[in-house]
Amino acid sequence: MIRMRWSLRGCLLGLGMLLAGAASAAPSDVVDGPLIRPATSSSDPGDLSGVWYIRLYNRQINSTLGRLPPFTAHGKAEWDARVQAEKEGSPIADASSYCWPHGVPRVMNSPYPIQIIQIPGETVIVHEVAHNIRHIYMDKPHPPVLTPGFMGDSTGHWEGDTLVIDTTGFNDRTWIDEVGVIHGRQLHVIERIRKIEGGLALENLVRIEDPEFFTEPWYARITYAWRPDLRLTEYICEENNRNMPVSGHTAKK
> In the complex, which residues of this chain contact another protein (CB under 8 A)?
2, 36-37, 44-49, 78, 92-95, 98-101, 117-120, 122, 124, 126, 131-133, 135, 137, 139-141, 149-151, 157-161, 172-173, 182, 231-232, 234, 236, 238-239, 241, 244-245, 247, 250-251, 253
Q: How far apart are CB 56 and another protein at their closest, in Å? A: 26
Q: How far apart are CB 37 and another protein at their closest, in Å? A: 8
How many whole angstroms separate alpha carbon 47 and alpha carbon 245?
40
Using alpha carbons, select from 39, 4, 8, 38 the residue that is nearest to residue 23. 4
Nearer to another protein, 62 or 124 (CB): 124
Nearer to another protein, 105 or 245 (CB): 245
Q: How far apart are CB 172 and another protein at their closest, in Å? A: 6
Nearer to another protein, 97 or 109 (CB): 97
**DSSP class of 216:** S
Nearer to another protein, 64 or 84 (CB): 84
Q: How far apart are CB 66 and another protein at their closest, in Å? A: 27
* Rounded-to-10 torsion of CA 37, 117, 5, 174: 160
C-alpha dist (Å) from residue 143 to 96, 139, 155, 173: 26, 12, 10, 21
Contact (Cβ atoms closer than 8 angstroms) between residue 232 and residue 51: yes
Nearer to another protein, 48 or 176 (CB): 48
How many whole angstroms separate alpha carbon 27 and alpha carbon 25?
6
Nearer to another protein, 66 or 120 (CB): 120
Q: How far apart are CB 190 and another protein at their closest, in Å? A: 14
Contact (Cβ atoms closer than 8 angstroms) between residue 83 and residue 91: no
Q: How far apart are CB 10 and another protein at their closest, in Å? A: 17
What are the strands, taking DSSP E only, across the chain? 50-54, 113-119, 122-127, 133-138, 153-159, 162-168, 188-196, 201-209, 218-226
How many whole angstroms separate alpha carbon 232 and alpha carbon 51?
8
